[in-house]
Amino acid sequence: VVGKPDFDSVEQDNRRAVLEILPELHSIVWVVSPEKYADAVFYDLVKSSHIHQDSFTFVLNKADQLIDKGYSDEHFKLKEVLGDLTFRLKHEAGVEQPRLFSLSAEIEFKHVQDQPTLNREFQRFRDFLMARRDAKEIASIKTINLVTETRQLVDEIDTVIRPHDKAQILDLLQGAQNEPPEQAGWG
């Protein structure tokens, strides 16, 4: 699912929509900007989502606005905001190890090449998403293969074992399931 209802919207329906769709997603990319990343509503929403944190990726967009060539360290402001964002994710949202990227969608989509740090970061983010997608596809294929093999095995069992014998086996399994492991002969 791509898109948004904005989590920081004044519309309560948008917040409810976000919370409703989160459990259906394999990967959640939370995008914040320098002017809104400190909003407590964001951290409350992340904390209340009850989704495994490994599914979360955080993006600080508009990172180009935090690069100031007037400083000896032009990335000073960016580092400062990333540090604050990381601190808030840990302490306000309860995200133990936030996965965080600093990007500028505008620079990437306009193909601006004079920001090598942000260009590399966008490539790193893209590579991460593609690797995650590939892993999910492989897991889906393995699941489909297991389901297919299980169906084949059940079909084979159905052709080999007589109905009466199946009923006895199921009764034995059900009885063993209700007994403690040591009584059922498992321990």
- Which of residues 88 and 116 earns the better pLDDT score? 88
Considering the chain, what is the average pLDDT of its residues? 85
| 15-19, 33-37, 102-106, 118-122: the lowest-pLDDT one | 15-19
Single pTM value for the model: 0.69
| pLDDT 10s digits, 106-117 | 888 888 888 888
- pLDDT the model gives residue 76: 93
pLDDT > 60? residue 8: no
pLDDT classification of 5: cutoffs 50, 70, 90: low
| pLDDT 10s digits, 23-77 | 888 888 999 999 999 998 889 889 988 777 888 999 999 999 999 888 888 999 9
- pLDDT the model gives residue 54: 85
- pLDDT the model gives residue 185: 56
Q: Is 155 exposed, middle or buried (0-12, 13-18, 19+ CB in 10 A)?
A: exposed
| pLDDT 10s digits, 135-183 | 888 888 998 999 989 888 888 887 888 878 878 888 888 887 776 656 5
Q: Is 101 exposed, middle or buried (0-12, 13-18, 19+ CB in 10 A)?
A: buried
Q: Identify the three-state secondary structure at position 42.
A: helix
In angstroms, what CA-CA distances link 7 with 29, 61, 84, 143? Answer: 12, 15, 20, 33
| pLDDT 10s digits, 124-146 | 999 999 998 888 888 889 989 99
- pLDDT the model gives residue 2: 47
pLDDT classification of 91: cutoffs 50, 70, 90: very high
- pLDDT the model gives residue 57: 95
Find the radius of gyration of the CA atoms of the chain. 25
